[in-house]
């Protein structure tokens, strides 16, 4: 069994782990990231890539702490896109530099979208009917209200590729099989590679950023907490070969977006439309065929000029894993808990990733952690980038 030493070991190769790896390496820590499967493949690449500014979270009329905290994040990401933030994202592609909130046209939905656009973030612009996205102008033209939000939509795979390429030599594929402990502290991790070989890696600090996988890591640490995470099941619907790009939220008088849509380029100048919002939540109680039928019915009502009978559809069933909340609501922001020299962490949303790294870095300073100055390598294979859900989907026509 090979034996190695690191300052910090990170387990989980999604956006949280990769961002934290880049941040800690920048400060000189001898740190490695271990991913069991593929980078970004569990949660990050299944996200819609939206950097939210909080408007979609206050449709009930109440400005929650979650909405206020989200409102701060687009500026943080923008600084990184300009190469001026904690992490240089100047080479990362965006699918869109803005999002749209639009109403269906009745008085109640028009009022709701207006209040949401203005409540937590003044950086919104009302669009006249000539400047809304082309797909909203089909047929008799756009009759609702629309606002442009200066909030980016990321190419999530390109983001993962950039973060991984910066630190490729310290990103490995392996499975944590055991934590060797001394009292409440973790001393060593036993990691199994793809050939069944075991590698022993000691570290001063162990950080777990594996979403739903944090539940298993909590057991390894020896926590008695039975509910370390909460899961929000979703069925996100994918539609193939769309002709128009669209990034935004269809708002009604209800407290959640009727649908949130992102468009992802594929061959022949076509797009995959990836549906979230209320469609993804209401579909959970339905079988996959019925979920597609429900989504199709909603799309036919929102976009009656589009021929939906010639489209191909697919379903992604996924649990969004977040830190457990007593009330079951969305966490107010990023979150971590320290148990001696073990940290279990969640960004809770893609948007909050930078704030998670900031909080953990402050904790390191407060607890007098310092880089050793060493830079050792592990004898493990390197982890590969995962697939978007639509790259490995089964498609049907309804």
**Are 145 and 110 spatial neighbours (Cβ–Cβ below 8 Å)?**
yes
The average pLDDT across 291-316 equals 96
pLDDT band at 53 (very low <50, low <70, confident <90, very high): low
pLDDT band at 225 (very low <50, low <70, confident <90, very high): low
The more confident residue out of 224 and 296 is: 296
For 349-382, write each residue's pLDDT tens digit: 899 999 999 999 999 999 999 999 888 899 999 9
Distance between the two ends of the chain, CA-based, in angstroms? Answer: 54
Query: In the prediction, which pLDDT does 75 show?
Result: 86
Quickly tell me which residue has 């808990």 as its tokens: 337
Query: In the prediction, which pLDDT does 198 show?
Result: 95
The answer on pLDDT for 270 being more than 70 is yes
Query: In the prediction, which pLDDT does 227 show?
Result: 77
The answer on pLDDT for 111 being more than 50 is no
pTM here?
0.91
For 75-87, write each residue's pLDDT tens digit: 899 999 999 999 9
């Amino acid at each position: 069994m090979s034996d190695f030493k690191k300052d910090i070991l990170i387990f989980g190769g999604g956006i949280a782990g990769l961002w934290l790896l880049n941040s800690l390496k920048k400060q000189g820590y001898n740190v490695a990231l271990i991913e069991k499967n593929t980078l970004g493949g569990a949660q990050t690449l299944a996200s819609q890539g939206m950097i939210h500014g909080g408007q979609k979270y206050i449709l009930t009329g109440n400005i929650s702490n979650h909405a206020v905290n989200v409102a701060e994040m687009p500026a943080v990401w923008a600084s990184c896109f300009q190469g001026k933030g904690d992490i240089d994202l100047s080479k990362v592609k965006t699918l869109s530099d803005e999002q749209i909130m639009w109403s269906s046209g009745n008085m109640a939905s028009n009022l709701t979208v207006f209040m949401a656009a203005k409540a937590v973030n003044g950086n919104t612009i009302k669009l006249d009917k000539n400047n809304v996205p082309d797909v909203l102008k089909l047929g008799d033209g756009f009759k609702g209200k629309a606002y442009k939000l200066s909030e980016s939509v990321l190419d999530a795979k390109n983001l993962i590729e950039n973060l991984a390429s910066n630190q490729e030599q310290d990103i490995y594929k392996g499975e944590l099989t055991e934590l060797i402990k001394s009292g409440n502290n973790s001393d060593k991790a036993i990691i199994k590679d793809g050939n069944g070989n075991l590698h022993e890696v000691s570290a001063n600090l162990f950080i777990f950023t594996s979403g739903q996988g944090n539940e298993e890591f909590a057991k390894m640490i020896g926590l008695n907490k039975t509910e370390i995470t909460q899961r929000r099941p979703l069925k996100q619907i994918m539609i193939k070969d769309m002709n128009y790009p669209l990034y935004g939220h269809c708002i009604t008088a209800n407290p959640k977006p009727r649908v949130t849509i992102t468009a992802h380029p594929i061959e022949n100048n076509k797009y995959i439309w990836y549906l979230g919002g209320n469609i993804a939540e209401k579909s959970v109680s339905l079988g996959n065929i019925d979920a597609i039928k429900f989504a199709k019915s909603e799309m036919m009502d929102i976009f009656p000029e589009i021929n939906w009978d010639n489209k191909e559809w697919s379903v992604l069933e996924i649990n969004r894993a977040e830190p457990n909340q007593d009330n079951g609501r969305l966490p107010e922001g990023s979150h971590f808990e320290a148990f001696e020299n073990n940290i279990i962490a969640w960004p809770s949303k893609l948007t909050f990733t930078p704030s998670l790294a900031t909080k953990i870095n402050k904790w390191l300073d407060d607890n007098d952690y310092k880089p050793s100055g060493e830079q050792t390598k592990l004898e493990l294979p390197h982890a590969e980038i995962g697939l978007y859900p639509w790259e490995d989907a089964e498609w049907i026509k309804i």
